[in-house]
Structure 1
């Protein structure tokens, strides 16, 4: 009688693989932030993460995939696979029962926190998208997700508004919360993250009340 074959489950190996991916993502974020798209190599990321270039390709993928992973990790604040909207900072934005001001405050705080870690990487991604088709495709997908979240937020901030008003509000949120705005004000003009956050709260509140229902 042949022995029964059992499925092989290796939680330790899976945990180690996740830790390796997180280490690679952190190294990629540092390399891209310091050297930009053109100045970063997979070999440099691998050396910084303490692995081989082959291990980087196997764990994450191409240079463009590494940049996307770096952006997602920096925005989220960790290298696990929890969706950004489900993380505490952004999940609070979509909690039921919040007043309009509470929701604006939560969104401004979460946005400022995310851009504190990732604004520079978003700008690197924009640069990469000009020359790398994979990066361009990923940037477009990311932009689509961001616009979808903007529309979701608009409907919560202005419940009962018609589609035209919500579309204008979503577009306004898109412009106000673009990474370039944060980079210009904080990185170039020397604003503190707290001042940016207060500015964003004020501008969002003004936008909501200036759009006809």
Structure 2
């Protein structure tokens, strides 16, 4: 009997993870369709095929569910791997050429924006009606600015950042280019392709941030 316990424990862990995934996916879909305020825990439970109690025990409620949905959209899955450890992020920060780093960054942030584009408005709306959601929204905005600053610091480290830009101003620019609203407006509403959007972000980033020599290298 003792030798079977690890297997049973692993099975329970897989089942719990699958349940949590189903709940988060159900909640995220409802937030997009009905908004945060219009979504109830009962509706989440019904769509996920679980009890109301299971929603609370698995994710903790509406705002923690929203946080998980945002976190998973940022990384692309529910694996316990931080965004910074993801291969596409590491590729950007390990690239020694500034022009190529900008192109890689533009495609990376486009992928993230695509996963967040429908969910982010639900977070913004939730922040208007729920104090806990407002805190989550503020943290999300700070994290985006932090990510932007890390990128422009990397550009400066490899001598790719414009000399007339201080880091705060450069981070503000990069953060705006990371905002999923642009993806929503141009790809989801205006019909741009994902590749067109990524190329546009790359062009704007290069024009806004790259030092003249690095920008010329990108154009060749």
Closer/same/farther in 2, CA of residues 163 and 49 from structure 1, 3 Å limit: farther
Q: Assess if the C-alpha contact under 8 Å between 2:114 and 2:180 holds in 1.
A: no
Q: Using the alignment, how far apart are the partners of 1:163 and 1:59 within structure 2?
A: 50
Shift of 1:155: 0.7
Q: Which runs of 5+ in 1 are unaligned?
A: 1-7
Cα distance per residue 1:101-157 (max 9 Å; x no partner): 221122111111122222111111011101100101111112222211111100111
Structure 2's unaligned 5+ residue stretches are 213-220
> Residues 18, 91 of structure 1: CA spacing in aligned structure 2 closer, same or farther, 3 A cutoff?
farther
2:197 alignment partner in structure 1: 196
Q: Deviations over 1:74-106 (max 9, x none)?
A: 2322122321222223232222x4311221122
Instruction: Let me know the Cα RMSD of the aligned residues.
Output: 2.2
Residue 145 of structure 1 aligns with which residue?
143
**Residue in structure 2 matching 1:110, options 108, 111, 119:** 108
**Corresponding residue number in structure 2 for 1:81:** 80
Match of 1:58 in 2: 57
CA distance in 1 between partners of 2:49 and 2:92 (Å)? 37
Contact 1:186 1:196 in 2 (8 A): yes
Per the alignment, in what secondary structure is the counterpart of residue 24 of structure 1? helix
Normalised by the size of structure 1, how large is the TM-score?
0.86
* Inter-partner Cα distance in structure 1 for 2:114 and 2:137: 19
Asked whether the 8 Å contact 2:73–2:112 carries over to 1, the reply is yes
Name which of structure 1's ranges 158-167 and 78-87 shifts more when overlaid on structure 2: 158-167
State whether residues 26 and 73 of structure 1, in contact with CA within 8 Å, keep that contact through their aligned partners in structure 2. Answer: no
More helix per residue: 2
TM-score by length of 2: 0.84
Which residue of the partner structure matches residue 183 of structure 1?
184
Count of aligned pairs: 203
Give the CA deviation at 1:200: 0.2
Q: In the superposition, relative to structure 1, how do residues 98 and 49 fare at CA in structure 2: closer, same or farther (>3 Å)?
A: farther
